[in-house]
Amino acid sequence: MANSQTPFEQEVAACIVQALNLDITSESIAPEQPLFQEGLGLDSIDILEISLAVSKSYGVQLKADDPANTQTFSSLRSLASYLEKHRSK
């Protein structure tokens, strides 16, 4: 179902909540909800924190000149699918 998190999405959501010290449960991040602005309201500082967390957890070094505009960070689902493709651990 589109609105429930896959097991890997659950893991990435938990990673985001922990890295950003968010006061929400990881389950409450809808997989296709935008992570920025109107959605979860993250900003570029948060992207950097997430990039560090996923580099440590999955060995993925994120690259993009302007990640706010790229597909990767548009939602939990797109971030998780990117990590799944590129993870080295």
Residues that bind other proteins (CB under 8 A): 21-23, 37, 41, 43-45, 47-49, 51-52, 55-56, 61-67
Q: Closest distance between other proteins and the C-beta of residue 7, in Å?
A: 26
Cβ atoms of 46 and 20 closer than 8 Å = yes
Q: Closest distance between other proteins and the C-beta of residue 63, in Å?
A: 5
**Which residue's CB is nearer to other proteins, number 22 or number 30?**
22
**Which residue's CB is nearer to other proteins, number 4 or number 28?**
28
Measured CA to CA in angstroms, residue 64 lies from 2, 11, 47, 72, 79 at distances of 27, 23, 11, 9, 13
Q: What is the dihedral of CA 81, 66, 16, 50, to 10 degrees?
A: 110
